[in-house]
Structures are given as C-alpha cells and as structure tokens.
Amino acid sequence: MRFMSLILINEDKVPAGGPSEQLMQDMGKLIEEMSAAGVLLDTAGLRPPAEGFRMHWDHGKLTVVDGPFTESKEFIGGYAIIQAKSKEEALEWTKRFLQVHGDAWELTCEVREMEEAPELA
C-alpha cells in the first residue's frame, strides 16, 4: 500500500528562522531509517506559496493566479510518499515524522492511500 502524506503548515505558526540545525539532523536520520526500511519512496519540501501559482479550469476557461494566495494561511510545506503494509504502519511512520519536529512546530499531516495507476499499453 502506498500513502501520500501532505505536510500542512500554518504560516503564522512557523518558528522564527525556520527549521533548526538539530531538526534537520534528526530529520536526516529519520529519512535514512525510512529509506533503509524500504518505506520511504519519495519526499521533499516545497517552496513557499508566494513563489507558486494556481491554475483553475472552469468549463473550458483557464485562470492562472500567482502566489501568494490570500484565502488561506495554511499551505502544503512538503510531502512524503511511503509504502506500508497497513494504514496503522503508515500512521506510526507519520507520527514519528511529526514528533521529530519537537515542541516548536505546529503541523498537520494529511495522509491518504494512493490509487494504483492503470497499466500503460
């Protein structure tokens, strides 16, 4: 089973200076452990919403809006794709990811099982 974890961050709750050196070291260790266990398939942080754009398709009409997006203070700060034997295993790995951040961060991870792509001809 493959799962995608979307890391949601409230921009008002990010610690001053962003991730600490200790957090980056601890995250590196967790990523190494997950990779060695064959659980972590891909992960990355995302650039701030102010540097992105949104495209909207509405009945044949395309609209493009550059960031920042004023409608929301919460944004996707990164993602991870993991392979787990069960939803419970995915939950445990996600819990460890959140705990690595310590008390300085407020994060939410939305975790969803991925549909398998149909075979290409």
- Could you report the per-residue pLDDT of 20-40, keeping only the tens digit for each? 999 999 999 999 999 999 999
Phi, psi of 3 (to 5 degrees): -130, 145
* 2-113: CATH topology: Alpha-Beta Plaits (3.30.70)
Predicted model pTM: 0.84
The half-sphere exposure of 67 on its side-chain side, counting CA atoms within 13 A, is 12
Given a cut of 80, is residue 71 above it in pLDDT? no
Report the pLDDT value the prediction gives residue 121, as an integer from 0 to 100. Answer: 64
Residue 100 near residue 27 (C-beta atoms within 8 A): yes
Share of the chain above pLDDT 70, in %: 98
Report the pLDDT value the prediction gives residue 110, as an integer from 0 to 100. Answer: 96
